[in-house]
């Protein structure tokens, strides 16, 4: 039997973990698709394609023309557009879809979270008085904070934002997770950070800053998850691998 052609929509830790878990597995021929925002993405096994498909129709066309058998949407929890495109594209092309949707973080005892619905609301929730803010929302999403220039921002992102996108008073840290709690605590203390702004991405890789904030009794402005369209989904890479096993079992007995 020929290997099953799998397209993974990437841009998350799960996508990378899934690509690594399938490395050398002759049952699958894996292509990992990235939006192309990161110039220098982590090296991963499998075929890599970069850049958009051209909406749901473009994705449906690529699925059909390149004869993909399976689609896994492993995009970031805030990548709402691509999640919708995955559902529509898979339906039109008649390709089975699975989404990996990691659970959101929820507050624990000792947490001082301020829940907000948007980046704009996060920027205004910091308040009028000048604060030292640890900003981990991603380099594409700094515009609302430029409108709150009274604060000093410690901006952490995987790659440096364009200089005209940065808030006027800031220090940039480029780093790729996962992060550990000791280092997060040391960073918070060294930079005299007074509060943290983050999206509720969930997952282990970025959670250490929340543990450090709890230990230091620091407030966290938490941008809540967007509403996501319904799709067949699992929470973990292990469950996605089990779904693939089942798909392979069905194809080999057909």
Name which of 146 and 176 has its Cβ closer to ligand NAP. 176
Closer residue to ligand NAP in complex, CB, 152/179:
179
Q: Residue 90: which of 55, 49, 57, 60 has the closest Cα?
A: 60
Is residue 119 involved in binding ligand NAP (CB under 6 A)? Answer: no
- Size of the residue set binding ligand NAP (CB under 6 A): 24
Instruction: Give the largest CA-CA distance in the chain.
Output: 66
Determine which residue in the list 46, 138, 167, 202 makes contact with ligand NAP, applying CB under 6 A.
Answer: 138
Nearer to ligand NAP, 5 or 185 (CB): 5
Stretch that binds ligand NAP, among 79-87, 96-104, 105-113, 244-252 (CB under 6 A): 79-87
Q: Which two tokens stand for residue 117?
A: 């619905």
| List 6, 34, 70, 133, residue binding ligand NAP (CB under 6 A) | 34
The answer to whether residue 157 forms part of the interface with ligand NAP (CB under 6 A) is no
Spell out the residues 6+ positions from residue 26 whose beta carbon is closer than 8 angstroms to its own.
Answer: 3
- Pick between residue 31 and residue 151 the one whose CB is nearest to ligand NAP: 31
Angle between helices 55-65 and 80-93 (to 10 degrees): 50
Contact 235, 101 (CB under 8 A): yes
* Site mask for ligand NAP (CB under 6 A), range 201-230, x = bound: ------------------------------
DSSP 41-107: PPP-SSEEEES--SHHHHHHHHHHHTT-SEEEE---TT-HHHHHHHHHHHHHHT--EEEE-PPPP--
Q: Is the dihedral of CA 119, 125, 129, 131 positive or negative?
A: negative
Give the one residue of 35, 133, 187, 197 binding ligand NAP; rule: CB under 6 A.
35
Distance in Å, CB of 89 to ligand NAP, minimum: 9
Q: Is 200 in the site for ligand NAP (CB under 6 A)?
A: no
- Based on the shown chain and the rule CB under 6 A, indicate whether residue 155 belongs to the binding site for ligand NAP: no
Q: Are 78 and 141 in contact (CB under 8 A)?
A: no
Q: How many whole angstroms separate alpha carbon 80 and alpha carbon 224?
A: 13
Cα radius of gyration (the chain): 20
Q: Which stretch binds ligand NAP (CB under 6 A): 49-57, 99-107, 128-136, 220-228?
A: 49-57
Residues that bind ligand NAP (CB under 6 A): 9-12, 33-35, 37, 52-55, 58-59, 75-76, 78-82, 85, 138, 199
């Amino acid at each position: 039997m020929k290997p099953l052609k799998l397209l993974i929509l990437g841009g998350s830790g799960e996508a990378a973990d899934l690509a690594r878990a399938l490395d050398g597995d002759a049952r699958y021929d894996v292509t990992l698709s990235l939006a192309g925002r990161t110039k220098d993405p982590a090296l991963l096994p499998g075929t890599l394609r970069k850049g958009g498909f051209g909406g749901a129709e473009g994705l449906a066309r690529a699925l059909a023309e390149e004869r993909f058998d399976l689609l896994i949407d492993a995009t970031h929890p805030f990548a709402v557009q691509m999640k919708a495109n995955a559902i529509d594209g898979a339906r039109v092309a008649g390709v089975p879809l699975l989404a990996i949707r990691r659970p959101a973080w929820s507050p624990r005892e000792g947490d001082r979270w301020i829940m907000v619905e948007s980046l704009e609301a996060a920027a205004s929730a910091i308040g009028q008085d000048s604060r030292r803010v640890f900003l981990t929302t991603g380099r594409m999403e700094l515009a609302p904070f430029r409108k709150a220039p009274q604060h000093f921002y410690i901006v952490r992102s995987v790659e440096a934002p364009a200089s005209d996108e940065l808030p006027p008073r800031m220090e940039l840290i480029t780093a790729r997770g996962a992060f550990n709690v000791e280092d997060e605590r040391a960073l918070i203390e060294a930079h005299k950070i007074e509060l943290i702004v983050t999206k509720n991405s969930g997952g282990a890789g970025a959670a250490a800053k929340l543990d450090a904030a709890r230990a230091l009794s620091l407030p966290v402005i938490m941008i809540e998850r967007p509403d996501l369209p319904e799709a067949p989904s699992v929470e973990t890479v292990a469950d996605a691998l089990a779904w693939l096993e089942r798909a392979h079992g069905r194809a080999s007995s057909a």
